[in-house]
Every structure is written in C-alpha cells, then in structure tokens.
Amino acid sequence: MTVWDDIRKTALYVRRNGPVAAYYAAMERLSDQSQESYSFIPCPQEELDAQRVQSLQWAKNHESVPISLVVPVYRTPETYLRRMISSVIMQSYTNWELILAVVEEPGETAETPETTETTVKTPLDIIREYADRDKRIRPLVLADNRGISGNTNAAIESSRGAYVGFVDHDDFLEPDALFMVAAAIRERMQAAAVRSPSACPVRLVYTDEDKCDEEGLHFFEHHAKPDFNLDLLLTNNYICHFSVVRGDIARNLLLRPAYDGAQDHDLLLRLCGELLSDPDQDNTVVHIPRVLYHWRTYAGSTSLNPASKRYAYEAGRLAVQDLLESKRIGVDVEEMPHVGFYRVNYQNDIFQARKDIGVIGGRLNNRLGELTGGAYTDRGQVLYDHLKKGYSGGFQHRAVLQQDVDAVDIRCFRVRPELRELVREYTGFIYKEGNPLPTESLPDYEIRNRSIRFCKKIREKGYRILWDPTWVREL
C-alpha cells in the first residue's frame, strides 16, 4: 500500500466520520507496529512433500475428501488468472476439481511493433490451455453474464465435490491450503465415526488470510481470525477467505443475486444462522489458524479501497437484517464508522430476542478512557487491554464490535432471568437487575476470577456470552 493510498483512505474517512474520528484512526494506524513487522512464512518444502505422500495414500485407500473449487471469471487480467490457476495446480492435495465459470467473449486484437494484428488470449483461451493439460480443471462456458452470484451459482451447481471452496479470480492459494482443509474434515469425520465426507458434521471450514500487492510479491494485513464467533459474523464478514462449505449445503443455499457485492457474507450468514438457536452446534464450523489465502490488492479493488464498492456494504447490512428478521428477531442494523462493519440494535430486550444469549457485558474504562477490563479469555487475559480512547483495535476494528467472548466482568453485566440464581452461587453476590454488585471490597484479580468462574458455568449450560463495547462503565 502506497502513501497515496493511505492519504486517499484518510480523506474518505474524514468526509464520512469527521476530523476527530479520523485523527484517532490515523494515530492508531501509525501506532500499530504488528502489521508493519508482518512477514508471511510459507509452508516448508519438506512438509509439502510429506503432505503429497499422505494425500496419495488417502486416495489409494479411497479416504480422501473430494473438494470442488468454484471461480467466477470475468475479464480477468492474464497474469492474475494464471497465478490463481497455478496456485491450485501446485496443491499438495490431489483430490480436487477447479470449475471456472467464464463468459465467452470474442478475442481482442493488438498491434505488434511491425503493425501486424495479433489475437490477444481471452480468459477462456487461457482456461482451456490449462484444462487440456489437467482434466481436473473444468471450464464452464456461460452464454451471458449473470453477475457474480449467478456465475458462481452455475459453477456450484456443476460441482461434484463433497465440499465446495470459494476462490476469487484474481487471488491465489498457498500450496498446502486444500490439504489442511481436507485434514480438518477427516479429523471430524473420524471423531463422528462417519465414513462418507458428505455425512461429516462440518458445515464450514475457514482459514486465515492476508493481502498482497498487485504483483503478488509483498504481503501485509495479516488477518489472524478468531475461532467461530456468531455475533462477530453479524457485525462483519470476518470469515471471508478461504471458505469451504459442505457441498449439499452450498448447492441448496446458493448465492443470492440481490446481495451481489456481499454475496459471500450473505451465504455465510444463512449457513450459520441455524446456530442462533443451538450454540452447541458451533463446532460444526472449523477454523484453521494458518494463512492459506492471499487477497490481491490493486487500484479500485475492494481489498485496497473499501469505499470503492459502497453498494457492497449496503448489501451486507441488508443481509444481516434479513437473516435476523427471518428468525423473527426484530432488529435495526446500522453501519458503523468503518465501512463494511455493522451494529445490531435489538428492538426488544436482547434476552427475549435471543434465546441463545445468557449474559451480556460491557467495557470497563479507567479515568483516561483506556480499556482496562470487560471481556476476558477463559485464562483471565483482558481482551484489547489498555486500548486507548478513540481506538478501534486495529484494521479489523474488533474492539468496537459486538462479539461472543469467554467471560465478561461482573461489574458491568446483565443476566438472563432464569440464570440469575447462578450469580449468587458462583460469585457470592445476589443479583438485582439494574443494581451493580457490591464488589468494592474485592481486589481486581478476585473479581476477574469470579467473573470467569460464573461465565464458564453459563457457557457449560449452552449459552453465549455477548460483549457489547458500546456499554461503558468507568472505574
């Protein structure tokens, strides 16, 4: 990303949110050293070689998972298209098919220095070139452009794999991507004692990702994603790339053209929406904490300039609204200062609206406005500890988003009515709605321990713990 890219994004942010918010955003970005020091480390060759041996053994024993990759291709620059296809061919895993849905267009012509005309290869020409050499590559020629959802749906409906993976036409995979996905699926198959991949309880596998420059040589914005977090998904498509969906689900849901621009977020929301009423099924979504997908950036791309496709973020907001309303949950979904991020406002009390939420907690600030507590890991670590006033928590803005957490602080929380007796049992205090617990005599570490102990019991009973950082209490 160039200095001019930063200037352009800052100017857009000022127009959208005002100079004060822009100041804090700029200061936070300057202070974020973690992204400046990021260096992508590829899978070692010896590990890739071992994966190839294992992949061939699985195939020999008829134990491999067939994976279909679907890619809508439309006027893709030749360099990008070749890099994407090559990244699939180079996979250490062998049981895949690559379906490229491409709109047939006449070849262009270009003049050589000798002024003779030469036909420039179209994306279809390039795809057929690879397909002639590898039968796992299947061109799917479309007579007309149906849009990104319609073109992708044609590829999904043509797919034969037990699982379907989604790749953009100008991005590329790491060579161990499909092996890691297949291994995760096989592990869950063995745990569930099922032999057919189509019977595997895993509905979605996703991986970490980063971005790369136009040449695909320099990597930045490492997105180390959390494990599955339903309420975080309601605020933004943090799952994004690389996503692999069980084939029967993908072919049943398909993408919806009405949500073009946010069609992948809409699909993930509908796929995970069933978990709203059953948190115990969260384990049907598997996260692989490894960068296996590179999202290419270039002028005009959404990855480099989120404001370049404003319609996409309105589509995302409507997708969140649609999902919750389809579950008879009344909400107003609003855009947040950062494009592509949303806040869900429940029209009724959240415990009436969401039967899966057991406890909701807020943010604790010190006198300087710094975050000092509120959301904790099960080991007692403070999430976003000492984040400065006005900061959002990095390029993913996670510290200002509603999300599921292991525990919240009992100094700033609300409890579902039928669970309130557990407050006394696990914290030693009697809970009264609207009144803070009398914790003044306890040291911070003891308050934190009791908070974690109480919330662990709530989660054991099958409820989510929701953290809402807009609810603030100053200590």
Would residue 319 count as lying in a domain? no
Beta-bridge partners for 59? none
Rounded Cα distance between 27 and 29, Å, is 5
Q: Give every CB contact of residue 467 below 8 A, 6+ residues apart in sequence.
A: 360, 361, 362, 363, 374, 375, 383, 402, 403, 404, 405, 408
The predicted structure's pLDDT at residue 112? 47
Would residue 38 count as lying in a domain? no
Rounded Cα distance between 70 and 143, Å, is 18
pLDDT > 90 in the chain, percent = 83
DSSP reduced 3-state for 312: helix
- Each residue's pLDDT tens digit, 130-148: 999 999 999 999 999 999 9
The predicted structure's pLDDT at residue 127? 97
Read off the pLDDT of each residue in 88-103 and give the average, rounded to a whole number. 97
Highest mean pLDDT: which of 302-306, 311-315, 362-366?
362-366
121 and 197, same structural domain?
yes
The predicted structure's pLDDT at residue 121? 87
66 and 112, same structural domain?
yes
Token pair 């100017």: residue: 11
Beta-bridge partners for 291? 208
Would residue 337 count as lying in a domain? no
377 and 421, same structural domain?
yes
DSSP string, 188-233: HHHHHT--SGGG-S--EEEEEEEEE-TTS--EEEEE-PPSP-HHHH
Residue 264's closest CA among 244, 291, 289?
244
Read off the pLDDT of each residue in 175-186 and give the average, rounded to a whole number. 98
Helix (H) or strand (E) holding 363: strand 357-365
- Would you say 316 and 342 are in contact if contact means Cβ atoms under 8 Å apart? yes
250 and 224, same structural domain?
yes
**Token pair of 102, please?**
């491409």
**Token pair of 153, please?**
């749906």
Q: Is 419 exposed, middle or buried (0-12, 13-18, 19+ CB in 10 A)?
A: middle
Would residue 323 count as lying in a domain? no
245 and 150, same structural domain?
yes
Q: CB count, 10 Å around CB of 404?
A: 23
Q: CB count, 10 Å around CB of 391?
A: 21
Would residue 162 count as lying in a domain? yes
Read off the pLDDT of each residue in 54-60 and give the average, rounded to a whole number. 97
Is the pLDDT score of 24 beyond 80? no
Domain boundary among 286, 312, 338: 312
Alpha helices in 105-146 (DSSP H): 123-133
Rounded Cα distance between 349 and 35, Å, is 39
Mean pLDDT over each residue of the chain, to the nearest integer = 91
Helix (H) or strand (E) holding 97: strand 96-103
Residue 11 main-chain phi, psi, to 5 deg = -60, -40
pTM, 2 dp: 0.91
255 and 193, same structural domain?
yes
Is the pLDDT score of 115 beyond 50? no
- Type of residue numbered 410: I
Distances (CA, A) of 19 to 10, 11, 14, 225, 389: 10, 9, 5, 30, 15
Residue 106 per-residue DSSP state: P
420 and 368, same structural domain?
yes
175 and 72, same structural domain?
yes
Read off the pLDDT of each residue in 372-398 and give the average, rounded to a whole number. 95
- Each residue's pLDDT tens digit, 430-465: 999 989 999 999 999 999 999 999 999 999 999 999
| 339 vs 467: which has the higher pLDDT | 467
The predicted structure's pLDDT at residue 108? 52
Read off the pLDDT of each residue in 280-294 and give the average, rounded to a whole number. 96
- Total domains in the fold of the chain: 3
Rounded Cα distance between 27 and 197, Å, is 48
Is the pLDDT score of 72 beyond 60? yes
**Token pair of 198, please?**
């189509």
The predicted structure's pLDDT at residue 11? 59
Residue 319's closest CA among 246, 269, 359?
269
Would residue 340 count as lying in a domain? no
- Each residue's pLDDT tens digit, 306-330: 555 788 999 999 999 999 999 999 9
Read off the pLDDT of each residue in 335-355 and give the average, rounded to a whole number. 95
- Would you say 148 and 302 are in contact if contact means Cβ atoms under 8 Å apart? no
Is the pLDDT score of 343 beyond 50? yes
Would residue 26 count as lying in a domain? yes
- Would you say 150 and 66 are in contact if contact means Cβ atoms under 8 Å apart? no
The predicted structure's pLDDT at residue 122? 93
Residue 224's closest CA among 290, 171, 165, 177?
290
DSSP reduced 3-state for 372: strand
- Each residue's pLDDT tens digit, 225-278: 999 999 999 999 999 999 999 999 999 999 999 999 999 999 999 999 989 988
CATH of the domain at 148: 3.90.550.10
Confidence bin at 113 (pLDDT 50/70/90)? low
The predicted structure's pLDDT at residue 12? 61
The predicted structure's pLDDT at residue 66? 98
- Each residue's pLDDT tens digit, 188-206: 999 999 999 999 999 999 9
91 and 27, same structural domain?
no
Q: Is 347 exposed, middle or buried (0-12, 13-18, 19+ CB in 10 A)?
A: exposed
Token pair 């796929």: residue: 271
Is the pLDDT score of 93 beyond 80? yes
Residues in the chain: 475
Token pair 């202070």: residue: 31
**Lowest-pLDDT range of 119-128, 353-362, 400-409:** 119-128
Read off the pLDDT of each residue in 139-162 and give the average, rounded to a whole number. 96
Read off the pLDDT of each residue in 148-167 and give the average, rounded to a whole number. 98
50 and 23, same structural domain?
no
Distances (CA, A) of 305 to 31, 337, 338, 340: 21, 15, 12, 11
Would residue 320 count as lying in a domain? no
139 and 247, same structural domain?
yes
| 120 vs 259: which has the higher pLDDT | 259
Residue 212's closest CA among 167, 166, 265, 170?
170
192 and 307, same structural domain?
yes
| 11 vs 338: which has the higher pLDDT | 338
The predicted structure's pLDDT at residue 109? 46
Is the pLDDT score of 300 beyond 60? no
What domain range is 13 assigned to?
A: 3-31
- Would you say 408 and 376 are in contact if contact means Cβ atoms under 8 Å apart? yes
Confidence bin at 165 (pLDDT 50/70/90)? very high
Confidence bin at 104 (pLDDT 50/70/90)? confident
